[in-house]
Amino acid sequence: MSIVRKISESAVHRLSLYLRILEDLESEQRETVSSEEMSGRSATTAAQVRKDLSLFGSFGKRGWGYDVADLAGRLRKILGLDRQWRVALVGAGRIGSALVEYGGFGERGYDVVAIFDSDASKVGEKWGGLRVRDIGEFEEVASEQSVEIVILAIPVEAVPSVMEHVDRAGVRGILNFAPTKLKVPEGVAVKDVNMVMELEALSFALSQEDGER
């Protein structure tokens, strides 16, 4: 199953969504599901669901639908959730703590193996069994721990100095919470989580309504 086609950002998001729906169905003990029902629980059409899945193979049975557990497993594999990812958290502030507390990451295959901060007063604290380390140790610890993904939960002004450490450590992906566009070496994947942008999209939508009325 070697996939060559480029999969769009939105298709990948929908796959995540489908997986979440399937997990709900699993907890409801459902055996099968149709593209029709999947579309009802997401915000798409049945055709979209089938098209998205067909990008990766043929998982359903005609006249019958999809096996919930089987499809969930396949989506997990497609999304890279069938293995463990070694993750470092950089930034032991509020967002970082929300993430560590949330905890759901371990279950989904993301193992937080180290936590860093540049604030000397935070270094040394214990967070869920891990000691907060100085960012200066990043390169060494990250390579020792085979860190592949960094969660970057630091303020914008700290980004340049932190990124120097991160760039040198051969990390493959960054989940970026800082509201700024990261400059990263070729081959490093970045995904942004940006609540300010979403809030702006919201007030844009509301303003548009006002204008139309």
Partner DNA sequence: GCCGCCTTGTGAAAATCTTCACAATATTAG
Partner DNA sequence: CTAATATTGTGAAGATTTTCACAAGGCGGC
Task: By CB under 8 A, name the binding residues for a copy of itself.
Answer: 2-4, 7, 9, 12-13, 15-17, 19-20, 41-43, 78-81, 85, 93-95, 97-99, 101-102, 104-105, 108-110, 148-149, 172-175, 177, 179-181, 187, 189, 191-209, 211-212
Shortest CB 38 distance to a copy of itself, Å: 12
With CB under 5 to 8 Å by kind, the binding choice for 91 among a copy of itself, DNA, none is none
Is residue 124 classed as helix, strand or coil in its secondary structure?
A: coil
**Residue ranges in 114-133 that form contacts with DNA under rule CB under 7 A:** none
CA atoms within 13 A on the CB side of 21: 23
What is the x/- site pattern for DNA, positions 47-86, by CB under 7 A? xx-xx-xx---xxxxxxxxx--------------------
In eight-state DSSP terms, residue 210 is H
Choose the one of DNA, a copy of itself, none that binds residue 60, judging by a C-beta under 5 to 8 angstroms depending on kind. Answer: DNA
Query: Reading across the β-sheet that carries 110-117, which strands appear in turn?
Result: 126-127, 130-134, 110-117, 85-90, 149-152, 173-176, 189-192
DSSP letter string, 132-145: EEEGGGHHHHHHHT
In the list 3, 26, 31, 45, the residue contacting DNA (rule: CB under 7 A) is 45
93 binds DNA (CB under 7 A): no
Q: DSSP states of 35-95 as a string? A: HHHHHHHTTS-HHHHHHHHHTT----BTTTBEEHHHHHHHHHHHTT-SS-EEEEEE--SHH
**Residue 22: CB minimum distance to DNA, A:** 12
Residue that is written with structure tokens 């993904």 in the block: 149
Written as one letter, the residue type at 56 is F
Asked if 41 touches DNA (CB under 7 A), the answer is: no
The DSSP bridge pattern shows strands 85-90 and 110-117 to be parallel
| Residue 165 CB, nearest approach to a copy of itself (Å) | 19
Nearer to DNA, 65 or 173 (CB): 65
